[in-house]
Chain A
Amino acid sequence: MTLISRSRRKDRIVLTVAGAVLLLVVPVAALAGVRFTYTLRTVTAGGLFLGAISGSIGSFAVLRKQSLLGDALSHAALPGVGIAFLIAGRQLGALLVGAAAVSLMGVWFISLVTRMTRIKQDTAMGIVLTGWFAVGIGILTFIQQRPDASQSGLDSFIFGQAAAIVRQDVQLLAVVSVVMVVILILNWKEFKLVTFDPEFAKANGYRIGVFTALILGLVVTAVVMGLQLAGVVLMVGMLIGPGIAARQWTDRLEHMVLLAGIIGAIAGSTGAIVSSLDTDLPTGPMIILVNSAVVAISLLFAPGRGVVQDLLRRRDDRKRFAGGGQG
């Protein structure tokens, strides 16, 4: 009993500190002399929402041992962007829907190949990642050869381009975040079961197919939303970094998801602000660097699990052993 209450108290402290850091990011930056122009405000808000979404949803990918699925999905989205552009033109909504549909096709192909042949999941992911990406490059090249120049900006889906984010995009992001949070809360129990013990869930009559697909759908949404900011390569870092960091601090799913969301938001906003300090600092990579720093700190110093504490404990054990049990 005391153990549980102690771990709860620890979680509460960690969450409070993380929340405080998140709230302090913008004021501290403003005090340090950063000028929040329209562009920076938009990009910071975009980074914040995206980090929160991808961090919290990514926690499920980490726990389901599908960390690299995000990487496959982000690459596989590219043909969808191209096809949607050919049909609907440059509307963010259409591009995102196209990207999501085509990534889901990739997921379907991965599961088809792993189910029906002896090829393992990682290989199937590699095939889809590159194959879909190549088709996407083909379509984008085709679009670029067309006479009208309206395709500018499609490249930003490959590398991510924070400057391309406008206020409407942030509004869309905010709406999607709210919808995702609602979906998470409504299906919380099922998500938890499907993530930790799908066999048990199945035996108890939960339709795990539906909930697995729903989680996958959320992951795809997060990936697709993030493409514009982080690009296809770095998206996987935004997705799983916060989840892995959060996992080190807590053992409870709800705290992990919440903390991962906060860490993602901190990394997203901080990365955006830092990258505005100089013209040559790209936003997506800066977010990943902040993210990596948080992950490194968590792996090293998290109480109970961290590497440093582990080393100290081992040293103590050695000493006690050498001291013949008197220490």
Chain B
Amino acid sequence: MIQLERGLIWVVTRFVDGDVLNAFLRNAEHTAILIGAFIAIAGGMLGTFLLLRGMALTSDAISHTVLLGIVVAFMVMVKLGGEPDLSSPWLLLGGAVAGVGTVVLTEVVHRSGLVQQDAALGLVFPFFFALAIIFVSRYVDDVHMDTDAVMVGEIGIAWANTNSHTYGDFEEVVITPDDPRAEITRQCINCREEGISPRDPRAEFVEICTNCGVYSPAAAYQAGFTDVEPEVIFWPKSLTVTFVLMVATALFVLLFYKELKLSTFDPGLAKTLGFRPTLLLYALMTLVSLVAVGAFDAVGSILVIAFFITPAATAYLLTDRLSVMLVLSGGIGTAGAWFGYRLAQGRIFGGWDTSISASMVVMMLLFFIAAFLVSPRYGVVSGVFRRIRQKVHFEEQVLLGHIDHHTDTAEAEQELTVATLPLHVQWSPSKVRKVYGRLLRRALVGTDEAGLTYLTDKGREQIRTFL
């Protein structure tokens, strides 16, 4: 992960000056929005497939159970003497195992034929989560795995949790005991046991070096081993994790687009054609788990579900094309992150000055409600308008059809005067007047000198397309 981060910084510093980059990253707003956008783009793409496969709530289960994987991996690493933090790849791995384990166990319980799919999910994930909570409160004391972190994450202070990287021609400084800069002291090894003073002739000494070791360029400068002040980039850790996950997700979707599409919409055919939909499903679930773990630090285990589901559902109301839906859900999620940050700062509603990640989710909910109401194709309001439009259109066609049908026939005298129309189409006179007026204004109909209505050329054109 550190190597990746170095590579990333190397690329970025090709384009941006180091000081500018530092200033940019130190701004809490930039970092928070970037991280939010990365999570939203990865989550939006994965969520699209989850939603279309009818597995939206699997993300709910996974986002909770990855906690168990994180905690277990954490405990193992502490036992082995490591100092894990939440962006360690081992914790990512643990989380992924737990996430996929949830899906597998749910499937096993469901396959027994005794329990519904959703009920199986509802059995497995509280169990894993309960185990995780017990482990946390029993074995993990000093971590920042406090309740707030689990619930809402710390996206607002992600900028402060950094790895420092030097760039340019600075090298690590290694101090060995032979180095002139090494500080050697003598230590008595048997004084305490024998209860003698170091001056006693029986005392035995070893020489130890107090400052030997490997120094990063920054530390070397601080310790005075070098006069060159290195230039350092302070790079937020969450940025790397979320960025890598976003790229991995995008690559996965791009490379397996055809397979994913087929196995989502027609798993039977996908299997027949030899595409191994099960394998693909577990790959998808692995990515969902990884994103859930990667996002855990920033937005916590509950709010991350919104990053999967809500933008994808919003996009689902706006388009029928899978490719468009994938792009849209990422875009909506990013917009949610952007406006959510402003909302959290109280810049949108005064007085609403609160958790950043929660505000991002609130913003996504608002976007969803907006699409729910006014989406051109599937919105509620547009549905009402569409029904009105259809009604209007239908009325016009009925009248046009009636006139067309009776023009130049024997009964035209009775059927086609403006006065007798209401009787024959069986509408109220006022309704006929209204519809007829509309047609007249659009020059689709006319009245000849005998008082009979007729169709203009345009009107005949209309009725032909309808029939």
Cβ of B255 to closest chain A Cβ, rounded Å: 26
Instruction: Give the CA-CA distance A130 to B112 in the complex, in Å.
Output: 31
Chain A, 53-87, CB within 8 A of any chain B CB: 62, 65-68, 70-71, 75
- Which of the candidate stretches B53-61, B84-92, B424-432 sits at the interface with the other chain? B53-61
Contact between A237 and B354, CB atoms less than 8 A apart? no
Residues of B within 8 Å of A285, CB to CB, are 129-131, 133-134
Contact between A280 and B115, CB atoms less than 8 A apart = no
A37 on the interface (CB 8 Å rule)?
Answer: no
Which of B114, B130, B151 lies in contact with A137, CB distance below 8 A? B151
Does A131 contact B364, Cβ atoms closer than 8 Å?
Answer: yes
Q: Is A303's beta carbon under 8 Å from chain B?
A: no
Q: Is A125 part of the contact surface with B, judged by Cβ < 8 Å?
A: yes
Report Cα–Cα, A285/B122, bound state, in Å: 14
B121 and A68 form a contact (CB under 8 A): yes
**Do residues B123 and A240 form an inter-chain contact, with CB atoms below 8 A?**
yes
When distances are taken between beta carbons in the complex, the residues of chain B under 8 Å from A116 are 372, 380, 383
Interface 0/1 of B125-155, CB less than 8 Å to A: 0110111011001100000000100011000
Enumerate chain B residues within 8 angstroms of A75, measured Cβ to Cβ: 302
B334 touches A (CB below 8 Å):
no
Interface residues of A in 212-254 (CB under 8 A from B): 232-234, 236-241, 244, 247-248
Which A residues are CB-close (under 8 A) to B19? none
Please tell me which stretch of A27-35, A92-100, A138-146, A182-190 contacts chain B, meaning at least 4 of its Cβ atoms lie within 8 angstroms of it. Answer: A138-146
Q: Is A49 an interface residue (CB 8 A)?
A: no
Asked if A122 and B57 sit within 8 Å, CB to CB, the answer is yes
CB distance from B431 to the nearest CB of A (A): 29
Docked pose: A75 CA to B302 CA in angstroms: 9
- Given A137-B152, A241-B123 in contact, is the A281-B134 Cβ separation under 8 Å? yes
* CB-contact partner of B57 in A65, A126, A159, under 8 A: A126
Contact between chains at A299 and B112 (CB < 8 Å):
yes
With a cutoff of 8 Å between Cβ atoms, the chain B residues found around residue A289 in the complex are 127, 130-131, 134
Q: Does A117 sit at the interface, judged by CB under 8 A?
A: yes
Q: Decide yes or no whether B185 CB sits under 8 A from chain A.
A: no
Q: Could you tell me if B114 and A67 are in contact, using CB atoms closer than 8 angstroms?
A: no
Contact A237 to B122, CB < 8 A, known contacts A119-B317, A130-B303, A299-B115: yes
Given A131-B362, A236-B126, A248-B114: A122 touches B56 (CB 8 Å cut-off): yes
User: Smallest distance from the beta carbon of A323 to chain B beta carbons, Å?
Assistant: 27
B305 engages A126 (CB within 8 Å): yes
Asked if A282 and B121 make an inter-chain contact with CB atoms under 8 angstroms apart, the answer reads no
Residues of A within 8 A of B134 (CB): 281-282, 285-286, 289
Closest residue of chain B to A289 (Cβ to Cβ) is B130
User: Nearest A residue to B150 by beta-carbon distance?
Assistant: A159
A contact residues around B137 at 8 Å (CB): 280-282
Residues from chain A with Cβ under 8 Å of B305 in the complex:
126, 129-130
Classify the interface of chain B: helix, strand, loop or mixed.
Answer: helix
Instruction: Give 1 or 0 for each of B34-54: 1 = CB within 8 Å of chain A CB.
Output: 000000000000000001001
Q: Is the CB of A137 within 8 A of B354?
A: yes
Measured between beta carbons, the chain A residues less than 8 angstroms from B130 are 234, 237, 284-286, 288-289, 292
> Is A174 at the interface (CB under 8 A from chain B)?
no
> Is B123 a contact partner of A292 (Cβ separation < 8 A)?
yes
Q: Verify B118–A65 contact, CB threshold 8 A.
A: yes
B454 contacts the other chain (CB 8 A): no
Structural contact, A299 and B109, CB atoms closer than 8 A: yes
Complex-state Cα separation, A124 to B147, whole angstroms: 27
Closest to B365 in A: A131
A123 touches B378 (CB 8 A): no
- Residues on A with beta carbons closer than 8 Å to the beta carbon of B152: 137
Asked if B355 CB lies within 8 Å of chain A CBs, one says yes
A278 to chain B, nearest CB (A): 8
Which has the most chain B C-beta neighbours within 10 Å: A138, A139, A155?
A138
In the complex the two chains form, what is the Cα distance from A127 to B116 in whole Å? Answer: 22
Kindly provide the distance from the CB of A187 to the nearest chain B CB, expressed in whole angstroms.
24
Q: Which of B116, B123, B378 interacts with A117 by CB under 8 Å?
A: B378
- B-facing residues in A269-327 (Cβ within 8 Å): 278, 280-282, 284-286, 288-289, 292, 295, 299, 305, 307
Give the contacting residue for A62; candidates B57, B119, B352; CB below 8 A: B119
Task: Tell me, in angstroms, the Cα distance from A120 to B317 when the chains sit together.
Answer: 12
CA distance in complex: A155, B368 (Å): 28
Asked if A138 and B310 sit within 8 Å, CB to CB, the answer is no
Nearest Cβ on chain A to B151's Cβ, whole angstroms? 6
Q: How far is the CA of A158 from the CA of B54 in the complex (A)?
A: 28
Q: In the bound complex, what is the Cα–Cα distance between A101 and B353 (angstroms)?
A: 25
| B33 sits at the interface (CB 8 A) | no
Q: Contact between A155 and B131 (Cβ–Cβ < 8 Å)?
A: no
Complex Cα spacing A158 to B378, Å: 35
Is A165 interfacial (CB-CB < 8 Å)? no
A120 in contact with B362 (CB, 8 Å): no
- Closest 9 pairs between A and B when the two form their complex, measured CB to CB: A237-B126, A131-B365, A130-B306, A285-B130, A134-B361, A288-B130, A141-B354, A126-B309, A67-B119
- Known interface pairs A134-B357, A282-B133; 20 further A-B residue pairs with C-beta atoms within 8 A, sorted by A's residue number: A113-B372, A122-B55, A122-B57, A122-B118, A123-B313, A130-B310, A131-B364, A131-B365, A134-B306, A134-B361, A135-B362, A135-B365, A137-B355, A236-B122, A236-B126, A241-B123, A280-B137, A282-B137, A295-B123, A305-B114
Measuring CB to CB, which residues of chain A are less than 8 angstroms from any residue of chain B?
A: 62, 65-68, 70-71, 75, 113, 116-120, 122-127, 129-131, 133-135, 137-139, 141-142, 145, 155, 158-159, 232-234, 236-241, 244, 247-248, 278, 280-282, 284-286, 288-289, 292, 295, 299, 305, 307
